[in-house]
Amino acid sequence: MVSNKKKAITVLSGGLDSTVATSYFNDEYEIHALTFDYGQWSAEREIESAKTVCEKLNIKHTVLNLPWLSKLGGSALTSNEEIPELKADELDNKEVCDETARKVWVPGRNIVFTAIATSFAEAEGAQIIIVGWDLEEAATFPDNSKEFLNAFNNVLEIGSIDNIKIEAPVIDMNKKGIVELGKQVGAPMDLSYSCYKGGKEHCGVCESCMRRKRAFQESGIEDKTIYLE
């Protein structure tokens, strides 16, 4: 059966934010999800999670390998550097979080991912590119900010022959708000994976795990995630 839905490309890491963002548009668009393996420690688990999320949402899934990105170095996510751990009371300490952000920053990651998604969008006639950029992470990761979103959309207006727009439905939300939206739209949050370390279960102590735990706790929504700590 030929779908009458508009088309979308989503950058789906398998994490909480991108799972909710993708689910938000799933009823309206025929979505093709892209997941990137760039040599990150959590690649296997992210890909597995993204695959199960796509199966649940009944959307197409493609895994793209970018081995050169990890070879650039500079990130604990792709090297033997120790992945930083945080305490709950440090999550809103900008100085501490700025330091951990530098350690896990992957050079140009969202610029690369979004550019590749643009190529798929043009080739497949998609109207939008879905991303999970959010307010809480934008505090320390500039490529999650509304300024970055607006700037990239300006680039698309100039540099694409098609009318493509990046949509970031959680751009103004913290993690608590994302969990609440996920509950509202029926996102399979229990299938998402957030841990930097890439273990079978969430470590519970890296910054990403800590933010995930806090979001579910503050929202009062059941967290089915299994944490080691």
Cα distance between residue 28 and residue 14, in whole Å: 20
pLDDT tens, N- to C-terminus, the chain (229 residues): 556 889 999 999 999 999 999 999 999 999 999 999 999 989 999 999 999 999 999 999 999 999 998 888 889 888 888 888 878 888 888 888 888 888 888 889 999 999 999 999 999 999 999 999 999 999 989 999 999 999 999 999 999 999 999 999 999 999 999 999 999 999 999 999 999 999 999 999 999 999 999 999 999 999 999 999 7
| pLDDT for 1 | 52
Contact 171/163 with Cβ under 8 angstroms? Answer: no
Give the H/E segment covering residue 29. Answer: strand 29-37
Domains of the chain: 6-73+107-193 (3.40.50.620)
Pick the closest to residue 202 from 228, 163, 223, 175 (CA basis). Answer: 228
Binding residues for Zn(2+): 195, 203, 206, 209
- Residue ranges at the known binding site: 12-22, 195, 203, 206, 209
Q: Which residues are annotated as a binding site for ATP?
A: 12-22
Give the pLDDT of residue 84: 83
Check residue 210 and give its pLDDT.
93
CA 56 to chain centre: 17
Among 156, 185, 184, 153, which residue's Cα sits nearest to residue 168?
Answer: 153
Report which residue type is found at 166: I
Q: Is the dihedral of CA 188, 196, 105, 218 positive or negative?
A: positive
